[in-house]
Structure 1
């Protein structure tokens, strides 16, 4: 009897969790859409709640603040990036793995969408600070993914350097792309920086990141 009750309860629990995930995703999508259309500061919680078809108080069951909605974008990109790194061929060079993973991540965003998100994240002092903090979080995530893939203790320093170098490359490419108002694709800027890294740091160096 107990087993039957537990089996009967599992689908209901699964349904609740699925509904909660769907509601959270709907709120996040509504928030991002409004941020891009109206601006971050101009978007109110009431507007997000209306777009997501929820009560205002329900918002706080899923997010503490509207700033927290931006974390969903980072979580999605980091999850994809981590998966590519962890699933990479262990015979590949760690530097190449991260380069390819980053380029693949960027290619998923259309040029206009990427420019709109970049403008959003640079639109206020708070969001600019968040953008810089995100780079630090991303660097740590990449390092942990690399360590999961290559757990040998003697590789730890090398993998830390790879994660630092690649995130630094992304920052430089992003700044150059933003300064040029997106006249060249972000991928092209990132390829340029990665090429410079490989030519000036890794090739023939005793600390080669490959």
Structure 2
């Protein structure tokens, strides 16, 4: 590949990244101002100062641009999880990757979503779809880890439980922080996540696979 081609590809990548961020920020600004029910592709494109066609070149559905922050965060955690030793206990791996608070943008997003979910069907639909996507990401990571998690059912069960615990922790965080995001409340969220996962693993500690459970108890 020539230097000119590499420069052109690099410019395109930077332009794409800038446009993606503009669309994402425009979408969440609209959600914060007007609620989920009022957000459309046309409104996002107008706020981001791009054409409707450009929006759909990047995202086939409005929900996908809104999910990007959460998807990227989970993807980062999944990558770190996959880097852990494959013979390490899952609980220890989770504790290791939860080493620092989430970024303020993500928690501001969570405050908006959970804050609107009680009164907005569109917000509840978005939350359910986002959680399903996150569960899929985690289940894929568990399956790739091998061992007992090569069983798709086992991976799905654990992924559902882990993400469910994470959502409960975030709801508790919203009640205690009142949606205020600063260094103290970011640390609070991390502490609540760790507590939620500790509750999960303490409650369900014991046999790690169905093979460890007597057939009479299944």
TM-score range, shorter chain: 0.7 to 0.9
How big is each residue's C-alpha offset from its partner over 1:166-193, in whole Å with a ceiling of 9 and x where there is no partner?
A: 1221233234445x36468443443332
Partner of 1:107: 102
Contact (CA 8 Å) 2:59, 2:65: kept in 1 or not? yes
- TM-score normalized with structure 2 length: 0.71
Q: Any idea what SS the aligned residue of 2:168 has?
A: helix
The 2-side partners of 1:174 and 1:156 are apart by: 29
Secondary structure at the counterpart of residue 38 of structure 2? coil
Asked whether the equivalents of residues 135 and 163 of structure 2 are also in contact (C-alpha less than 8 Å), the reply is yes
Tell me how far 1:85 sits from its aligned partner: 0.7
Partner residue in 1 for 2:81: 85
Among 164, 189, 194, which residue is 2:197 paired with? 194
Residue 104 of structure 1 deviates from its aligned partner by 4.9
Task: Return the offset for 1:128.
Answer: 0.8
1:107 is paired with a residue whose SS is coil
Q: State the TM-score, normalized to the length of structure 1.
A: 0.73
Report the CA distance between 1:106 and its aligned residue: 5.5
Secondary structure of 2:67's aligned partner:
helix
Once the 2 structures are TM-superposed, how far is the Cα of residue 21 of structure 1 from its aligned partner? 2.6
Which of the numbers 4, 8, 18 marks the counterpart of 1:12? 8
Structure 1, residues 90-142: CA drift from partner, whole Å, max 9, x if none?
453112323553x4575323797242343245552133123123222222211
| Conserved 8 A contact 2:26-2:47 | yes
| Root mean square deviation, CA, Å | 3.2
| C-alpha contact (below 8 Å) 1:81/1:105 kept by paired residues | no
Unaligned runs of 5+ in 1: none
How far off its partner does 1:81 sit? 1.6
Q: Secondary structure at the match of 1:206?
A: coil
The number of residue pairs the alignment matches comes to 198
In 1, are the aligned partners of 2:42 and 2:52 still within 8 Å (CA)? yes
Distance 1:125 1:106 in 2: 29
Mapping of residues 1-210 of structure 1, within 5 Å: 8-43=4-39, 45=41, 47-101=43-97, 103-104=98-99, 107-109=102-104, 113=108, 114-120=110-116, 123-148=119-144, 150-152=145-147, 154-157=148-151, 159-178=155-174, 180=175, 182=177, 185-202=188-205, 205-207=206-208
Q: Would the aligned equivalents of 1:77 and 1:105 in 2 still touch at CA under 8 Å?
A: no
Separation in structure 2 between the aligned mates of residue 119 and residue 106 of structure 1, nearest angstrom: 20
* SS of structure 2 residue aligned to 1:60: helix
